[in-house]
Amino acid sequence: MTLFLASQSPRRRELLTQVGVAFEPLDASIDETPAAGEPALDYVRRVAREKAGAGLMQVAAVPGALVLGADTEVVLDGKVFGKPVDAADAARMLRALSGRTHQVISAVAVVGAAREDEAVSISEVTFAALTEADIVAYVASGEPFGKAGAYAIQGRGAGLIAHLSGSYSGVMGLPLFETLRLLRDFGVPARVRL
C-alpha cells in the first residue's frame, strides 16, 4: 500500500512527517471556487474529497494506492476567508478577524480504489484586538500570503491569537488526531498509534 498526499502544502507534509507517516506528494489541482450558497462546512468537505479524488486519478495504476486530500478554511459569520490575493486583501481579513472568534474548519478525505472516508475538525480561534500598526507589520512580514484567513498559527501569527479551542494542527492545515484515526482505519502505519 502506498499513501499519496494530494497537496503541495509544506505544512501538511511537515505534519505527516512529524507523526511518522510515509507518503508520496502529488499536485492535485482542482477548482476551489465555492458553489453559490454552499455552506462553509460542505465546501471544505467537498474540496478535500475532490483533491483526494483528483490525486487518485493520477495514481490509479499503482496497486493499493491511497490518496489523502485536505482543505482548511477560516470562517467568520458563515463566510469563508480563503488565501488573500494581495496585501490589501490580507489587511481586510485581519481587520475583520481582529477581536473576534472565528472557526477554522479542516477536512481530511482518504480515497482508494474500493473505499473512501473523511473526517472533519472544527476549531474556534479568538484573535486579540489588533491595531492598524499590528496589521501593517504582519502583512509586511509576508506571512499572510498563501494562508487561509491571512495568518499562520505556526509562525508570527501565533502572536495574534488570544485563545484556541480545538486542534492546533487542524488550524495549521491538517488535524493530526482525525487524520491518524482515518489512516489507521485504512491500515496505514504511523509512529504514533491511537
Residue 193 lies in a domain: no
- What's this model's pTM, rounded to 2 decimal places? 0.93
Is the pLDDT at 101 greater than 80? The verdict is: yes
Domain containing residue 27: CATH number = 3.90.950.10
C-alpha cell recorded at residue 100:
473576534
Residue 190 lies in a domain: no
Domain of 118 in residue numbering reads as: 2-185
Residue 194 lies in a domain: no
Instruction: Give pLDDT tens digits for 7-62.
Output: 988 999 999 999 999 999 999 889 888 899 999 999 999 999 999 999 999 999 99
Residue 88 lies in a domain: yes
Can you give the pLDDT at residue 194? 47
Q: Which residues are catalytic?
A: 71
Domains of the chain: total: 1
8 Å CB contact between 35 and 47: no
φ, ψ (nearest 5 deg) of residue 71: -145, 145
Residue 192 lies in a domain: no
The C-alpha angle with vertex 182 and arms to 178 and 188, in degrees rounded to 5, equals 125
Residue 64 lies in a domain: yes
